[in-house]
Structure 1
Amino acid sequence: MPEPTLIGLQDQPGHLIRRAHQISVASFHEHLGREVTPVQYALMRVLQDKPGIDQSTLALEVALDTSTTADIAARLETKGWISRAVLARGQRSLALTPAGTALLGTLVAGMEQMQTTLLGGLEEGEREELLRLLRKFVEPDSRKRQGR
């Protein structure tokens, strides 16, 4: 029986995804600072586009569990960046505060710089293809169809 062949580290998607995440987080902090975390930024960006959504929907939008989303939302509320209001059935409606909106405004230039840093080594077609493949990879419906 032939010996199993080990898969090279640079051919393992899990390793490459982990490295890409490390690079992305480091770039986020380099260009946007440490006042807001990448996950906090994601929550706030969704609230910017969908003000007043409930906490459960927000959790789905950013692919987090509801308890983690609730914890992060509470921290954002304490910082004065979002407001939460209780809805029927105990749900909470979330929205950016003026301070949260202002904060996101200060991050636009840094986010543009981060995008350039992360995608700058790729040609335009490669950038579009990378983003298309990443969206396909993380899309919940496509992963369910694959049995994950």
Structure 2
Amino acid sequence: MTNIPSPQTLDPAPGLNSVFMDLYEQPGYLFRRAQQISVSIFYEILGDEVTPIQYAILRMLHERPGTDQKTLAGLVALDTSSTATTAERLEAKGLIVRELHIAGRRQRLLFLTPEGQRLLSSMVDGVRKMQDEMFRNFRPEERATLMRLMHEFVSVNNARSRAPLETSGSVDAPPTKARRKGPAGRRR
């Protein structure tokens, strides 16, 4: 197993404040690296027929067929624009259909196609294998602790996300409509 360098093993450049040499101890950096590793393992084990975000949308549509795009965005914690673009791609692949909602006129309701359902079903074993691979060097109690802490971190910071998770009645992620301003005061 390769360890990331500790700040003590790096020679700071003259004139730089030591705070900049602490990168490998910063949570944001480690979360980004964990995401990179997670995505790499996803593609290694499950292939590249769908992306991790497309998989999340397929999973949610399996659980909640006929969800409109705006609600779906909240359920998978994506902005509505990215959700719409991803839904278009999944529809082009023949994995979902988007139907205009008669009452809502502008709303589109999303459903898995039989091909989408087959693909999702074929991924079940791979997803289990992927999760086992991510935690292969962890003892069961370490895995449980890490998962508990990640749930807690995401839950207590949900409203700070540019695309908060919006579910009804969830203990892990309370419903929220709060949106934070992005850089330069733009709304996302």
Please give the TM-score of this superposition, normalised by the length of structure 2.
Answer: 0.71
Unaligned residue ranges in structure 1 (runs of 5+): none
The amino acid that maps onto 2:88 is A
Cross-structure match for 1:49: 63
Residue matched to 1:113: 129
Structure 1 residue ranges, 4+ long, deviating more than 4 angstroms after superposition:
none
Q: Which amino acid aligns with 1:104?
A: L
For the aligned residue pairs, the C-alpha RMSD in angstroms reads 1.8
Structure with more of its chain in helix, by fraction: 1
Q: TM-score, normalised by structure 1?
A: 0.88
In our comparison, the structure showing a higher alpha carbon Rg is 2
RCO higher in structure (CA 8 A, sep ≥6): 1
Where 2:29 maps in the other structure, the secondary structure is: helix
Deviation sequence 1:84-126 (CA, Å, 0-9, x none) = 1111231111111110000011111211111011012111111
- Residues 22-77 of structure 1, C-alpha deviations (whole Å, 9 max, x = no match): 10010000000011101100100011111111111110011111111001001101
Question: What pairs with 1:1-148 in structure 2 (closer than 5 Å)?
Answer: 5-6=18-19, 8-87=22-101, 88-89=103-104, 90-139=106-155, 142-144=157-159
Deviation at residue 83 of structure 1 after TM alignment? 1.0
Task: Look up the SS of the partner of 2:67 in the other structure.
Answer: coil
Amino acid at match of 2:153: F
Structure 1 14/105 Cα, relative in aligned 2: closer, same or farther at 3 Å? Answer: same
